């Protein structure tokens, strides 16, 4: 296997312990040449496109994605006709509708999107978001019974419901129809709903399984407008494209692949966000102190976490209320509340992370298990997902973090590494009776487990995962797109790279190497970050940042090698300060030259 690897600059073990490999295969090198020659993109951007599977024929449409070209026919999704017909019927009959959503960004955006659509037709739908701690994920019988008792003739579940057969049955018994709009993997019998629109159903042949829930909701609204035009042609439809800001937000924050129509959703949705027509999003941009055009990074790391903070440690419904409101005063008030909750969440996470990392470091010192399982009675159940994510990055293996209550029952979240299906492992553990409840995706999963079964669960994970996780860890590398010099990191290159974005899941940020650059200076800035000044052999200079690197192998490498010539790997981005934009290099890794 080692003989087949194409090492970049022959780096076989970097500061972070990774090999550096060429991202592009020999065939992709030829495709990059064809893109550069045919479309004038420049060599570096051509390499970025080719390295992500874009062909020379696809390049023009990829660089200028449109909803018209990429939107699939909604009718290709199983049960779409039934769902659109039932929602249209509710509009025509002016029925009372309830929206049951999840407590994350995708659930909040999906709920707000559907509420805005129904509101356009004069229906003031109620949004119900369950409490993460007391109700857990998805519809529960008590909530469904309550919504029906309050008069809901139709309950639409968004970003949940596929695996809630018992709760949907209770809604039916209480007199309410249910339509499920979801994207989660199926883990049991389908519920007795009027329609279940989920591109990840086994009998769905639409090939749209990459959609987040908001994407599924958007397609459903497109189809519902089509139905309403046929039965009520006098009713003007809403401007669905104007709501792509919500779809873009959910698509980025739910970390679904930025391919196909998802890419168009984000490109066009970012334009809508920058117009700040949604009062809630505008308020979030202000409290997040974003002083530049909003991009995918801001959605993922500044706006999304604030919306999630409500569901993690506060009122789970705050996010959906914020995204659905047109009242600027209410929007500012909710955004400020979410900003405060996010600060509290960050402080709690830091305390939890310090304790967890100390425990994990001891466990992995001698190799450690394939899947780390850590837990505590002192942890907040709303933050364990973030904790698992940070620990996964630190230990480079799947991690479960569990918050146990006084009764010894734990609520846990798991995060996986690329190539290992954590959701399937959790479903197998559930089938074996090792956990009380569980489900999820390939990269993220949730479990409920009794402390007394923790040893059995760890042994099961090790037996099922050790070989595969070990193989993935051995093959782990940093994929390099191209070499770059300090002189070549220009505003023009940044503009071209941004046009090839947005970057995220399935379309990773380009990674460039600055070969043989001298570390002129290294200094700590902010909380745990390093500012690094680099100089090329030709004399060009570039300011770089190594975020959260103090106390890490990368930070130690940069500090120890001040004054020496090294290879540095990372991304380039725009840094806005006092109205001016400068090119900044974000250091991901380094190696001795």
d(CA 254, CA 265): 13
Q: Name the 3-class secondary structure at 577.
A: strand
Residue with tokens 């745990």: 528
Asked if residue 511 is part of any domain, the answer here is yes
d(CA 265, CA 260): 9
pLDDT band at 5 (very low <50, low <70, confident <90, very high): confident
Is the pLDDT at 13 greater than 70? The verdict is yes
Asked if residue 439 is part of any domain, the answer here is yes
- How many percent of the chain have pLDDT more than 70? 99
Burial class (CB in 10 A: 0-12, 13-18, 19+), 286: middle
- Contacts of residue 330, Cβ cutoff 8 Å, sequence gap at least 6: 279, 321
Same domain (yes/no): 73, 155 = yes
Q: What is the mean pLDDT of residues 47-55?
A: 96
Same domain (yes/no): 251, 391 = no
Q: What is the mean pLDDT of residues 98-114?
A: 97
List the beta strands (DSSP E) in 365-511: 372-376, 399-404, 409-415, 437-440, 444-450, 477-480, 482-483
Q: What is the mean pLDDT of residues 333-358?
A: 95
Same domain (yes/no): 154, 296 = yes
Same domain (yes/no): 424, 529 = no
Same domain (yes/no): 495, 459 = no
Same domain (yes/no): 419, 332 = no
Instruction: Quickly list H helices, 130-197.
Output: 141-149, 165-173
Q: What is the pLDDT of residues 126-146, one digit of tens each?
A: 999 999 888 888 999 999 999
Phi and psi angles of residue 28, each rounded to the nearest 5 degrees, phi first: -70, -30
Number of domains in the chain: 3
Q: What is the pLDDT of residues 346-398, one digit of tens each?
A: 999 999 999 999 999 999 988 899 999 999 999 999 999 999 999 999 999 99
Alpha carbon 489 to its chain's center: 28
Asked if residue 463 is part of any domain, the answer here is yes
Asked if residue 383 is part of any domain, the answer here is yes
pLDDT the model gives residue 303: 98
- Which residue range is the domain that position 561 belongs to? 2-15+481-592
Query: Model-level pTM greater than 0.85?
Result: yes
d(CA 320, CA 50): 38
Same domain (yes/no): 506, 574 = yes
pLDDT the model gives residue 1: 43
pLDDT the model gives residue 317: 95
In this structure, what CATH number is given to the domain that contains residue 425?
3.10.310.30
Same domain (yes/no): 174, 257 = yes
Q: What is the pLDDT of residues 56-96, one digit of tens each?
A: 999 999 999 999 999 999 999 999 999 999 999 999 999 99
Same domain (yes/no): 425, 491 = no
Same domain (yes/no): 486, 438 = no
Q: What is the pLDDT of residues 521-561, one digit of tens each?
A: 999 999 899 999 999 999 999 999 999 999 899 999 999 99
Asked if residue 294 is part of any domain, the answer here is yes
CA distances (Å), origin 298, targets 105, 189, 198, 290, 472: 14, 38, 28, 8, 30
Same domain (yes/no): 429, 389 = yes
- Across all residues in the chain, what is the average pLDDT? 94
pLDDT band at 53 (very low <50, low <70, confident <90, very high): very high
In this structure, what CATH number is given to the domain that contains residue 73?
3.90.1640.30
In this structure, what CATH number is given to the domain that contains residue 7?
2.40.50.460
Asked if residue 436 is part of any domain, the answer here is yes
pLDDT the model gives residue 574: 87
- Give one DSSP letter per residue of 472-537, joined into a string: HHHH-EEEE-EE--GGG--HHHHHHHHHT---BTTBPPP-EEEEEEEEEEEEEETTTEEEEEEE-T
Please indicate whether residue 481 or residue 255 has the higher confidence score (pLDDT): 481
Q: What is the pLDDT of residues 169-184, one digit of tens each?
A: 999 999 999 999 999 9
pLDDT the model gives residue 405: 94
Domain end position, chosen among 450, 474, 498: 474
Asked if residue 23 is part of any domain, the answer here is no
- For residues 570 and 586, the answer to whether their CB atoms sit within 8 Å is yes
Q: What is the pLDDT of residues 465-485, one digit of tens each?
A: 999 999 999 889 999 999 999
d(CA 515, CA 567): 5
* Tokens describing residue 315: 């009122």
What would you report as the CA-atom Rg of the chain, rounded to the nearest whole angstrom?
25
pLDDT the model gives residue 577: 77
- For residues 408 and 452, the answer to whether their CB atoms sit within 8 Å is yes
Of 573, 571, 530, the closest CA to residue 550 belongs to 530
Residue with tokens 């929007």: 331
Q: What is the pLDDT of residues 264-281, one digit of tens each?
A: 999 999 999 999 999 999
How many secondary structure helices (H) and strands (E) does the chain include? 21, 18
Phi and psi angles of residue 193, each rounded to the nearest 5 degrees, phi first: -95, 160
pLDDT the model gives residue 232: 78
The residues with which 404 forms a beta bridge, in sequence order, are 410
List the beta strands (DSSP E) in 25-151: 97-101, 126-128
Asked if residue 494 is part of any domain, the answer here is yes
Burial class (CB in 10 A: 0-12, 13-18, 19+), 27: exposed
Domain end position, chosen among 474, 495, 521: 474
* Tokens describing residue 30: 């030829």
pLDDT the model gives residue 386: 93
Domain end position, chosen among 305, 340, 375: 340
Same domain (yes/no): 529, 577 = yes
pLDDT the model gives residue 40: 86
């Amino acid at each position: 296997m080692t003989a087949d690897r194409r090492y970049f600059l022959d780096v076989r073990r970097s500061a972070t312990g990774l090999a550096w490999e060429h991202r592009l295969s020999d065939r992709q090198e030829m495709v990059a040449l064809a893109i550069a020659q045919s479309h004038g993109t420049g060599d570096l951007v051509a390499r970025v496109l080719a390295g992500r599977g874009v062909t020379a024929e696809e390049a023009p449409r990829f660089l200028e994605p449109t909803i018209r070209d990429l939107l699939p026919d909604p009718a290709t999704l199983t049960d779409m006709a039934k769902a659109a017909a039932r929602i249209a019927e509710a509009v025509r009959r002016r029925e009372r509708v309830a929206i049951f959503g999840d407590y994350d960004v995708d659930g909040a955006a999906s709920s707000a999107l559907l509420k805005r659509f129904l509101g356009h037709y004069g229906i003031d739908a109620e949004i119900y978001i369950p409490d993460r701690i007391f109700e857990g994920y998805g519809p529960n019988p008590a909530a469904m019974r309550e919504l029906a008792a309050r008069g809901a003739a139709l309950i639409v579940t968004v970003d949940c419901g596929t695996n809630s057969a018992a709760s949907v049955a209770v809604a039916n018994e209480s007199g309410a129809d249910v339509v499920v709009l979801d994207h989660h993997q199926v883990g049991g019998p389908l519920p007795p709903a009027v329609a279940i629109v989920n591109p990840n159903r086994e009998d769905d042949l639409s090939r749209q399984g990459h959609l987040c829930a908001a994407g599924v909701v958007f397609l459903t609204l497109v189809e519902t407008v089509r139905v309403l035009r046929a039965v009520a042609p006098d009713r003007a439809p809403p401007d669905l494209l104007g709501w792509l800001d919500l779809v873009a937000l959910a698509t980025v924050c739910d970390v679904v692949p930025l391919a196909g129509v998802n890419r168009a959703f984000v490109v066009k949705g970012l334009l809508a966000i920058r117009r700040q027509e949604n009062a809630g999003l505008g308020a979030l941009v202000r409290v997040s102190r974003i002083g530049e055009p909003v991009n995918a990074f801001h959605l993922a790391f500044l706006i999304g976490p604030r919306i999630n903070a409500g569901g993690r440690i506060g009122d789970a419904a705050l996010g959906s209320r914020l995204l659905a409101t047109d009242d600027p005063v209410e929007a500012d008030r909710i955004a400020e509340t979410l900003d405060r909750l996010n600060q509290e969440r960050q402080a709690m996470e830091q305390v939890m992370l310090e304790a967890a990392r100390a425990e994990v470091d001891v466990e992995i010192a001698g190799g450690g298990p394939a899947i780390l399982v850590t837990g505590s009675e002192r942890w907040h159940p709303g933050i364990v997902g973030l904790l698992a994510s940070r620990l996964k990055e630190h230990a480079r293996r799947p991690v479960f973090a569990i918050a146990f209550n006084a009764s010894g029952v734990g609520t846990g979240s798991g995060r996986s590494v690329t190539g290992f299906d954590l959701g399937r492992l959790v479903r197998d553990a559930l089938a074996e009776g090792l956990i009380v409840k569980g489900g999820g995706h390939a990269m993220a999963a949730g479990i409920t487990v009794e402390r007394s079964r923790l040893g059995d669960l760890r042994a099961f994970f090790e037996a099922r995962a050790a070989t595969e996780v070990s193989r993935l860890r051995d093959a782990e590398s940093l994929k390099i797109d191209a070499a770059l010099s300090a002189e070549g990191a220009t505003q023009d290159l940044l503009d071209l790279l941004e046009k090839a974005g947005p970057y995220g899941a399935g379309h990773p940020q380009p990674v460039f190497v600055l070969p043989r650059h001298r570390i002129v200076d290294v200094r700590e800035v902010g909380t745990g970050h390093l500012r690094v000044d680099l100089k090329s052999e030709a004399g060009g200079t570039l300011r770089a940042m190594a975020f959260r690197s103090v106390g890490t192998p990368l930070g130690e490498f940069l500090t120890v090698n001040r004054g020496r010539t090294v290879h540095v790997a990372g991304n380039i981005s725009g840094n806005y300060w006092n109205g001016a934009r400068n090119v900044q290099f974000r250091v991901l890794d380094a190696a001795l030259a």
